[in-house]
Amino acid sequence: MRGLKNAKKESGGGQKGFTLVELIVVVVILGVLAAYVASRLAGLDAGARRAVIESLYSSVKSSSVAVHGAAVAANKSSEHIATLRVEDKHVRIAYGYATADDLGILNAIDDSSIARDGGGNGDILAIYALDGGSLILRHKDARHPDSCFVKYSYSNDGMAPVIEMSVDDCR
């Protein structure tokens, strides 16, 4: 014990604090940690967008199957254009499949995250193809929305719709 007391007295013990080198080392370590955390958070955002698109893809597929099943059960699968009541919603169908518009597949899935006609606060932007046979649902916040989407295409010949998904670049 006596040795420690003497060592303090001999060193002068007057100044307290950190040296400039110690402060620089701490700042560098904090910067490295901040960069690591930021990169992890950016990855989480992309993963969340990917999960939203994957979930939307599943919703579109299951809604399409449900609408077709209801159309067959209601004996409306051969009608060119009809309206069908599915789970308290009126869905426009063509040859037993939901059409690619607001009254068709969008009404069937009824997802509040979809901004219809470019309005609203949803994460997903609905884009209608000019031919009327396709609907593209893109994530608004993706850096490359052309690579982060669900596409619903139906034909007027009674064939099942084609439902595609891309999550290649949902960053």
pLDDT single digits (tens) 2-53: 555 554 455 555 668 888 888 888 888 887 887 767 756 665 678 888 888 8
Q: Is 127 helix (H, G, I), strand (E, B) or coil?
A: strand
Give the angle subtended at the CA of 72 by the CAs of 68 and 56, to the nearest 5°.
10
Give how many domains the chain has, as a whole number.
Answer: 1
Residue 67 binned pLDDT confidence (cut-offs 50, 70, 90): very high
Q: C-alpha angle 61/67/72, rounded to 5°?
A: 125
Residues forming a β-bridge with 94: 97
Domain-located, residue 16: no
**For residue 143, is it within any domain?**
yes
pLDDT of 60 reads 92
**Structural domain contains residue 52:** yes
Let me know if 31 is exposed, middle or buried by CB neighbors in 10 A (0-12, 13-18, 19+).
Answer: exposed
Segment 102-130, tens digit of pLDDT: 889 988 987 777 776 555 567 777 777 75
Mean pLDDT of 144-169: 88
Q: DSSP code of 55?
A: H
Q: Does residue 44 fall inside a structural domain?
A: yes
HEC profile of 61-91? HHHHHHHHHHHHHCCCCCCCCEEEEECCEEE
Q: Which domain covers residue 90, as residue numbers?
A: 21-166
Beta strands per DSSP E along 37-171: 82-86, 89-94, 97-98, 114-115, 124-128, 134-139, 149-153, 162-166
Q: What is the pLDDT of residue 57?
A: 93
Output the CA–CA distances (angstroms, integers) from residue 124 to 12, 95, 104, 130, 142, in the order listed.
68, 27, 17, 19, 10
Which residue is listed with tokens 């982060």? 148
91 inside domain: yes
Q: Is residue 8 part of a domain?
A: no
pLDDT at residue 3, rounded to an integer: 53
